Structure 1
């Protein structure tokens, strides 16, 4: 069978096969979904944590130091996400994607984002400065984006080289928000803002969130430092 014939056959099967769907109560894994037209539907909060200006970083720092920044940032982000009840679903270069499903998922995702900010400022940056301040004044910058929506989770790829695809607004919007300027370290949509508890909205009686008017998503966005 030629490669063209194989591709035509597979595409025909995918477009013609009826989908089977089920509602999910836990975060799907690559072993809980098959490569066929099978999907799990979940109501989830998605968080993306992204290093800002990573291109400038890799252009200005030796590769091993840039790799250490990637590793320390992603390690802290993943540990914090898990401590807040989230599940890391993907690493993509200098960013991590996580999904929250529990009852207070809006609030827990926001807490995770704020703890990531605290870890960057109070742990990762001081750790970098302690070792490398004599040769570099690099300052870590990062942004977290958070949104909530229904997600349609399916497996994509080929046998031996596959992954899950997260289809839905939250996955797309959270990624776009994490690419916004690091004027604010956390950006959330109105859906997340309206569903979070006051503990994630106020500090000392003051609202921690500012209305953002210009973004890459067509929904009201809030930002916080």
Structure 2
């Protein structure tokens, strides 16, 4: 019973409860619903134009002697539909207006059906035979375009009420000559009313309404979940490189810790000099503003050189070249990015001063190449997509060595030679062979990319 009440409350509410759904997801849902209302308006306009054209060119049914309400009804409905379409592009149509629209739809249909006995000068039972009733399914189906069970349910119930009203009027309009019969032949061939047949029509309308409402009830749940997942996937692409985000969101199976592959790649590590001591003297908003300027610049340079930022480490940046997607020039690209990042920061000092950084913002960069493992690490409840390997550790150690070497960008001889075979060319480099680097067991042949 509680499940039924929850389902009914869900349908009447039009979707999941307010809690648990982010505002941006609800905004996206409302945007799609507004688009659906415009689609419904266009379809309605197309239908009224089609029926108007059909009415204008089709041969007139014979036997009419009374007033013809059809042209007036179609004209009025055309004006209402155009108004509705225009308003749907001006603002989000409120629910009360949509309910009025449903009432107008059903009033048009019921009014036309009712007018037939006047137009043809027949007993009201005459209009119960009209095939125009089938148009009610068009109006019910139109409301399904919004993916909101409330409006389908409302349309169907209004249609049922309208049809029962027509049946009631036909049955009691002429009490002196009651037209109710149980003879099926008499019902088909004369102006008689077969209650069972009218109940059948009513049940068909009601059943179709309920089936569509239940289908939309389930579909709307999926719409909310899909929209929320889409928003999450979009956010994911801001936290990860596009290729990494795609590998997560498009995976055929659920990712598990320990999944990964080994690739040849280059790792770039960048760090701001004296950031901790300087930022301790500044307001938090200035620190974050400077970081934002620096990181925007760094990401632009790294992406343009074919790399992808793996993670931000406070004021540090870890970027990969050839790890996310294979590359034949990963080492050369990484060295170009390291050198260009240093020169770009030096050239754009005005950006950092405008953000509030005192003095010059100086950075250090380092690159190391070699085999790395690219994959998922962590626990079953907390995963991280990253790269691990000796090249990652060497890049971090080499960046720290910039301080001892009074340099701005370093790499090792192995990475330098590899980059040269991949087309990297630069003049006036400085080699420092057999240099002791803190954290490394053996001396390293260093190459200074920028002083």
Does the Cα contact within 8 Å between 1:210 and 1:224 map onto a contact in 2?
A: no
Question: Which of 352, 355, 373 is matched with 1:128 structurally?
Answer: 352
Corresponding residue SS for 2:400: coil
The residue aligned with 2:364 is 143
1:69 Cα shift?
Answer: 1.7
Q: Give matches, 1:59-70, under 5 Å.
A: 59-70=280-291
Question: Which of 304, 329, 337 is matched with 1:104 structurally?
Answer: 329
The residue aligned with 1:215 is 437
1:86 Cα shift?
Answer: 0.8
Question: Which of 272, 276, 281 is matched with 1:51 structurally?
Answer: 272
Question: Which of 112, 116, 121 is matched with 2:341 structurally?
Answer: 116
Corresponding residue SS for 1:82: helix
Corresponding residue SS for 2:361: coil
More strand by share: 1
Show CA shifts across 1:4-23 (max 9, x none): xxxxxxxxxxxxxxxxxxxx
Alpha-carbon spacing, 1:28–1:64, altered in 2? closer, same or farther (3 Å): closer
1:150 Cα shift?
Answer: 0.6
Larger Rg: 2
Alpha-carbon spacing, 1:130–1:74, altered in 2? closer, same or farther (3 Å): closer
Question: Which of 394, 397, 409 is matched with 1:176 structurally?
Answer: 397
The two structures, once aligned, show a CA RMSD in angstroms of 2.5
1:47 Cα shift?
Answer: 0.6
Alpha-carbon spacing, 1:66–1:37, altered in 2? closer, same or farther (3 Å): closer
CA distance in 2, matches of 1:130, 1:36: 43
Does the Cα contact within 8 Å between 2:429 and 2:447 map onto a contact in 1?
A: no
The residue aligned with 2:379 is 158
Question: Which of 79, 82, 90 is matched with 2:303 structurally?
Answer: 82
More helix by share: 2
| Aligned residue pair count | 193
Corresponding residue SS for 2:367: strand
1:126 Cα shift?
Answer: 1.7
1:77 Cα shift?
Answer: 1.0
Does the Cα contact within 8 Å between 1:113 and 1:144 map onto a contact in 2?
A: yes
The residue aligned with 1:191 is 414
1:160 Cα shift?
Answer: 5.2
Q: What TM-score, normalized by structure 2, do the two folds share? A: 0.40
CA distance in 2, matches of 1:106, 1:215: 21
1:201 Cα shift?
Answer: 4.5
The residue aligned with 1:18 is none
Alpha-carbon spacing, 1:56–1:201, altered in 2? closer, same or farther (3 Å): farther
Alpha-carbon spacing, 1:158–1:127, altered in 2? closer, same or farther (3 Å): same
1:167 Cα shift?
Answer: 2.2
1:185 Cα shift?
Answer: 1.3
